[in-house]
Chains A and B, each alone.
Chain A
Amino acid sequence: MKLPSALAIALLLAAVAPQAQAHHSFGVFNTAKTVTLQGTVYRFQWTNPHSWLWLSVAQTAGPPKIWGIETGSPTMLLRRGLERETFQPGDKVSVDIHPLRDGRSGGNFIRATFPDGHSVAVIVQKEK
């Protein structure tokens, strides 16, 4: 078998990969709903058990709000073509999430799109 390129792996992963959620019920997220956040990367925590993208989102009134966006472990993200340096503080990015059901400023990462049009994605699946 010819070894797939990193790009091919990333595309394949984005197309078919389920996300394992071993640590809590996936029910805390409303997977029927997708919210798009326009913001600026505050921090990207490349950590176990899950990585977190913290996004500063401007509000119509008051200071920007920091959203907490949960995604996979480092090894899971590496398998999907993401890296520790995929998100740098200050990056402008558009992020699709499944929001928390409790209405707080948080959600589960679906995909992020950068100003140049390229995007990274992690497809989610309900825990069985």
Chain B
Amino acid sequence: MKIAALLVVFALVGAISARAQDNPASVASAHPLTWSDVAKWPDFTGGEWTIAGSHVNTLSTGPAPLRSDLPPKPKRTGLNPCAPQGLPQFVGGEFFYSKNSMFLMTDWDYLVVRRIYMDGRIHGDPDPTYFGHSIGHWEGNTLVVDTVGLLPDVPVAGYPGNGVTHIVERYAPIDRDDINYTITIINPQILTRPWVIKKHLVRLPTLEVAEAFCDQNVRNGAGDTIDLTPPP
């Protein structure tokens, strides 16, 4: 069963890995891992990790340490209604392990696939994406994930990140079903200092990542119009 799940992962992310291999500067620093290496990783697989209390994966935060010279916050108008929120607005998910990477996947109203390279490669010059380019390593039982390469539109506290956002996440297990999660958001164009947010993640054992195609039933048009035509 585990092998079957991994094969599904490979199929899902084939396109992503093919693109990443086009980045030789990044891959050159990688060192191949074996399944016995992977077997030593703390086991975060099984069920969805979600924010305790809310049971959602959208990151609610306190006030951001915003710079005082920011322009007015842009309105979210004219965006593709299916545009993902991206990192850091969206955290958690279900973990899958492969031989050189971990995958963190979740569905909200679109499917999120975050690949976290564990083979020691560097970021290089990744193609920007909504959830960025992630490299990870273990510090004891704590998973540390470093992410750059976010699209310019992906916001920090509502302001476009301009592609310079740098995110460090720490997943420190408390026990099998609880993780102390710390996310540090670094963006000197928006923030006066690194913004550290701590959350308690819990495992929802019965939730499994599932297909989610956002444009299945879009009823929101331009200018916040809503199509109220009943289905047949």
Contacts and interface: CB of A to CB of B under 8 A. Distances in A.
Interface of A: 1, 3, 6, 9, 12-13, 16-18, 20, 22-25, 27-28, 42-43, 45, 47-50, 52, 54, 66, 68, 70, 73-76, 78-80, 100, 104-106, 128
Contacts, number: 112
A45 B226 CA distance: 16
A16 B178 contact: no
B216 A48 contact: yes
A25 B76 CA distance: 8
Given A20-B108, A49-B81, A70 B226 contact: yes
B50 interface: yes
B207 A78 contact: yes
A29 B148 CA distance: 36
A76 B224 CA distance: 22
Contacts of B204: 9, 79
B56 A50 contact: no
Given A73-B212, A79-B207, A54 B230 contact: yes
A126 B218 CA distance: 20
A17 B54 contact: yes
B127 interface: no
B226 A100 contact: yes
Contacts of B50: 79
Contacts of B217: 45, 47-50, 52
B72 to A, nearest CB: 15
A78 B209 CA distance: 12
A48 B212 contact: yes
A24 B226 contact: yes
10 contacts: A28-B226, A43-B230, A48-B216, A50-B217, A54-B231, A68-B219, A68-B226, A68-B228, A74-B210, A76-B108
Contact of B219 (A9, A13, A70, A74): A70
A6 B206 contact: yes
B225 to A, nearest CB: 8
Contact of B109 (A17, A27, A73, A104): A73
Contacts of A73: 107-109, 212
B128 interface: no
A18 B231 contact: no
Contact of B56 (A49, A70, A79, A128): A79
B175 A79 contact: no
A39 to B, nearest CB: 13
A127 B182 CA distance: 24
A9 to B, nearest CB: 7
Nearest to B50: A79
A106 B224 CA distance: 14
A7 to B, nearest CB: 13
B128 to A, nearest CB: 20
B107 A75 contact: yes
A18 B54 contact: yes
Contacts of B26: none
